[in-house]
Amino acid sequence: MALLEIRNITRRFAGFEAVKDVTLSIAAGEFFTLLGPSGCGKTTILRMIAGFDAPDEGDILLDGQSLAGVPPEKRPLHTVFQSYALFPHMTVAGNVAFPLEMANRSRDEIRRRVAETLALVHLTDKAAQFPHELSGGQKQRVALARGLVNKPRLLLLDEPLGALDAKLRVEMQVELIALQREVGITFVFVTHSQQEALALSHRIGVMREGRIEQCDEPDKLYTLPANRFVADFVGRINLMDVEVAASSKVLLKLKAAGLGEIAATDLRPIAVGERGAFALRPELIRVFGHRESADLKNRFEGRVKELLYLGDVTLYKVELQNGFIVEALMPNAASGRAKFHEVGDPVAVCWRQDAGVYLRN
């Protein structure tokens, strides 16, 4: 049975629906992420799980029990806030001890558990310090320790890494994964960073305008996006308007205006004449000199319009004959050569038949 079940919840604020008929099921031990642009309703869902807000319709169940009408303090789950929300008048140890005190644990147990949890987040030596004496990353770890110390059934994390600088973010991501594995507590994480979501999660729910657009494992989400929004929001992608020219069992022929036919694969039965989009990741495209031949099903000629040398890879923007600009990412692996093509070079972009995905409108 799922640990947390969200059934058809809807939340309306003055005149608009922040969350529209969302259904989710999160298993025990899972690291689940709600991903979406700001204002998509992900934080509203988190607040409803925590009990700071209530759905207008639908129900939220924890261990099969409805949480409707249960105040935040009675829910066996804790939240890590974006602003950390540490109590400024308490020491680090005092902050971490707070949930245990509220749960009326014995003094010995509190002392032991606070020490254990501070050790877990490498803050043992900061126990007697006050929040204003700590760095951003340290505050973050205190907030995590405080959320974990009373072993909640569920830990909610609202953009907890948002306030950290890039390098620290990556460090904390690694720590967060290790921590979640170590304590075995279910995490529900909210972020607008697709990179963070992909790196951390077991499963991701991508949200837009109050709805879940797709809920899948990171690799599935990346390779098989359900629609244009997901394809575009998660990672870099080329999206081309196409019409289905032919469809057999596995093989799909797509027609792009002024370009010719694109060969793709799809297991779904798709009607000829249907309109949709062809989505292709830049790193799955090879860029060749226009005279070089490639043993790849799809080959289109164009001209390098721009390039971005990034050290390990180069991002080529290639203008095709129909004016469409394809982004291709090529590793700079050849010895003695920094890049393969220059701006203005006539080139051919090629990809395997199974590289791209056809998205229905």
Comparison of 15 and 71: residue with beta carbon closer to other proteins: 71
Cα(336)–Cα(25) distance, integer angstroms: 52
Give dist(CA 154, CA 77) in Å, integer.
Answer: 5
Distance CA 330, CA 312 (A): 9
Min dist. Cβ of residue 74 to other proteins (A): 8
What would the two tokens of residue 95 be?
């902050």
- Of 123 and 318, nearer to other proteins (C-beta) is 123
Distance in Å, CB of 90 to other proteins, minimum = 9
Least separation, in Å, of the C-beta of 160 and other proteins? Answer: 12
The amino acid present at 299, given as its one-letter code, is: R
Least distance (Å) from other proteins to the CB of residue 150?
7
Q: At its nearest, how many Å lie between other proteins and the CB of residue 194? A: 25
52 versus 309: smaller Cβ distance to other proteins? 52
The residue among 158 and 216 lying less far from other proteins, judged by its C-beta, is 158
Cα 119 off chain centre by: 29
Contact 259, 324 (CB under 8 A): yes
d(CA 181, CA 304): 46
Identify which of residues 152 and 225 has a Cβ nearer to other proteins in the complex: 152
Buried-exposed string 273-284: b where 16+ CB fall within 10 A, e elsewhere: eeebbbbbbbbe
Q: What is the C-alpha separation between 29 and 154, in angstroms, rounded?
A: 9
Nearer to other proteins among residue 77 and residue 328 (C-beta):
77
| Cβ closest to other proteins, residue 3 vs residue 46 | 46
How far is residue 286's CA from residue 282's CA, in Å, rounded to a whole number? 9
Task: Report residue 223 as tokens.
Answer: 């390779």
Cα dihedral 180/217/84/99 (nearest 10): -50
Task: Please give the residue ranges that form the binding site for other proteins (CB under 8 A).
Answer: 50-52, 71-73, 78-79, 81-83, 85-89, 98-99, 102-103, 146-147, 150
Instruction: State which residue, 132 or 291, has the beta carbon closest to other proteins.
Output: 132
Closest by alpha carbon to 122, among 106, 108, 140, 101? 140
Q: Which residues contact 137 (CB under 8 A, 6 or more apart)?
A: 164, 168, 171, 172
Nearest-approach distance from CB 131 to other proteins, in angstroms: 10
What are residue 239's phi and psi, to 5 degrees?
-120, 120
Is residue 135 classed as helix, strand or coil in its secondary structure?
A: coil
CB of 179 to other proteins, least distance (A): 18
Which helix (H) or strand (E) element contains residue 323? none
CA distance 252 to 136: 51
> What's the min distance (Å) between Cβ of 158 and other proteins?
9
Q: Considering the complex, state which of residue 32 and residue 98 has its C-beta at the smaller distance from other proteins.
A: 98
Minimum CB distance to other proteins, residue 302 (Å): 51
Nearer to other proteins, 90 or 270 (CB): 90
* Nearest-5° Cα angle at 83, 72 to 58: 35
CB of 185 to other proteins, least distance (A): 15
Provide the phi-psi class of 267: left if phi over 0, else alpha when psi is between -120 and 50, else beta: alpha
